[in-house]
Chains A and B, each alone.
Chain A
Amino acid sequence: MKTIYSFIILFMFSLANTSHGESLPIKIIPLDKSVAANFKINDYDGNKYELKSSRGRWVFLHFWASWCGPCRREMPLLYKLQKQLKDKNIDFVLVNTAEDEDTIFEFLGSVAPDLHSYMDIDGELTEVWQPRGLPTTFFIDPKGRKRYLALGGRPWYKPEYQALLESMLAEEY
């Protein structure tokens, strides 16, 4: 009996110690926590964004293009996610890869009109970040470190992804 109790206690203890880093949802890859290089980028209205301005906040850095099927499918989910997390400590930074403002404007207008994207006009920022394909999302933590990579479009509404986001946002800095 004593052995069973010990086993249960050990099991509970191991569960309590399981961070999201050890039980990540499918296609979420932990990164090496290296500090992300700063970059500057503009949106189609000429507004500037600089990565270092998000220090102290999480960054959802998402590379996409209108011609990529999974990007098209994921956009409405991203819009919902952004709305859901609007009061949380996270910045959504969408980066369109090498398309012009008319294409971006027309595309977002048809799938997620309130979603905002920056423009990597020449595709140079995308080359630096080397997403494995499009879409790809990088999570950068409040210390500016690359923490996770999300491969392709993800079903962000599913409990396991929601749990990951919750757990990330609950981290103390």
Chain B
Amino acid sequence: MRITQKIAYFLALTVCLPTGTFASDPSMEIISAKGNRYEHKLFRLRIITRSPNQIAAFYEARGFPEAAINEVRKVCFITIGLGNNSSQKLYHDLSQWQFSDKDGLVKRILRPKWKKRWSELDLEKRFQSTFRWTLMPEKLDFYPQEGEGGNLIFPRTGKPLTITTHIRIGEGDKISLHQVTFKDIQCAIDAEQEKTPQ
């Protein structure tokens, strides 16, 4: 292969593949989860969708002001639980996860955007802190048997989401890579909304 062809091939791969090392790794275990829980011998994953009323009740009970409650009501909260069942470190990095609906990739509403919004609303620091602690860590190396959880937040579109998680366990020649896909994750709506014809 000529050098220019090699460069073109490399560039094509770089452009076409999603970011990170996961997508191109042939040794990765590909899993399609049934339902919203997946238990592997090395890790466990759980996805729970929260309705606006549930989320509002949670933050109201923490004393959040109405303006902040209105903000969290508008969006879609999905709580993730991730646990390390293995005896090695599990490396979690949300930038390696993918979220999509039938129209393509869906972007999460990230921490800087919330920070800006809370600042516009002049939300007290203590509420901002509590809010941050209820989000899923962006990146974390899980110790053996450690479990953590938190919320991911998306715009509310009404379209079911596909969530593709990527998990790396171990180091050196003992690395194992896992891709778990959860399909048809529908943002929860309030019970009264369910009964009302749209």
Chain A residues close to B by CB (< 8 Å): 26-27, 29, 65, 67, 97-100, 103, 121-124, 126-127, 132-134, 151-152
Complex Cα–Cα for A133 and B125 (A): 19
A122 and B143 contact, CB distance less than 8 A: no
Which single residue of chain A is at the shortest CB-CB distance from B124? A122
- Cβ–Cβ contact B63 & A67, under 8 A: no
Mark contacts of B96-131 with chain A using CB atoms, 8 A cut-off: 1 yes-contact digit, 0 otherwise.
000000000000000000000000000011111110
Tell me whether A152 and B147 are in contact in the complex, defined as CB-CB below 8 angstroms, given that A67-B62, A100-B63 are known contacts: yes
| Residue in A27, A122, A123, A124 whose beta carbon sits within 8 Å of that of B133 in the complex | A123
Known A27-B143, A123-B126; 12 more pairs at CB < 8 Å? A26-B145, A29-B143, A67-B61, A67-B130, A97-B130, A98-B126, A98-B127, A103-B63, A122-B125, A123-B128, A132-B140, A152-B147
Complex Cα–Cα for A133 and B124 (A): 21
B192 CB to nearest A CB, Å? 25
Contact yes or no, A123 B129, CB < 8 A: yes
Q: Does B66 belong to the interface (CB within 8 Å)? A: no
Q: Evaluate contact between B145 and A97: CB separation under 8 angstroms.
A: no
Residue contacts A-B, CB under 8 angstroms, 15 given:
A27-B143, A27-B145, A65-B130, A65-B133, A67-B134, A97-B133, A98-B133, A122-B124, A122-B126, A123-B126, A123-B128, A123-B129, A132-B140, A132-B148, A134-B133
Per-residue interface assignment for chain B, residues 138 to 161, with 1 indicating a CB less than 8 Å from any chain A CB and 0 otherwise: 001001111111000000000000
Alpha-carbon distance between A103 and B140 when the two chains are bound, in angstroms: 30
Determine the residue in chain B with the shortest Cβ distance to A126: B129
- What is the bound-complex CA distance between A134 and B149, given in angstroms? 10
| Chain A contacts for B147, CB-based, 8 A | 152
Complex Cα–Cα for A22 and B30 (A): 36
The interface residues of chain A lying within 8 Å CB-to-CB of B129 are: 97-98, 122-124, 126-127
User: What is the bound-complex CA distance between A100 and B126, given in angstroms?
Assistant: 9
Contact A98 B143 (CB under 8 A): no
Contacts of A124 in B (CB 8 A): 125, 129
- A126 vs B125: C-alpha distance when bound (angstroms): 12
Chain A residues near B9: list those with CB within 8 A. none
The answer to whether B146 touches A151, judged by C-beta atoms less than 8 angstroms apart, is yes
Which of B126, B134, B143, B145 is packed against the most chain A CB atoms within 10 Å?
B126
Among B125, B128, B132, B146, the residue within 8 A (CB) of A132 is B146
Q: How far is the CB of A158 from chain B (nearest CB, A)?
A: 14
Chain A nearest CB, measured from B75 CB (Å):
19
Q: Separation in Å of the A30 CB from the closest CB of chain B?
A: 11
- Asked if B58 is at the interface (CB within 8 A of a chain A CB), the reply is yes
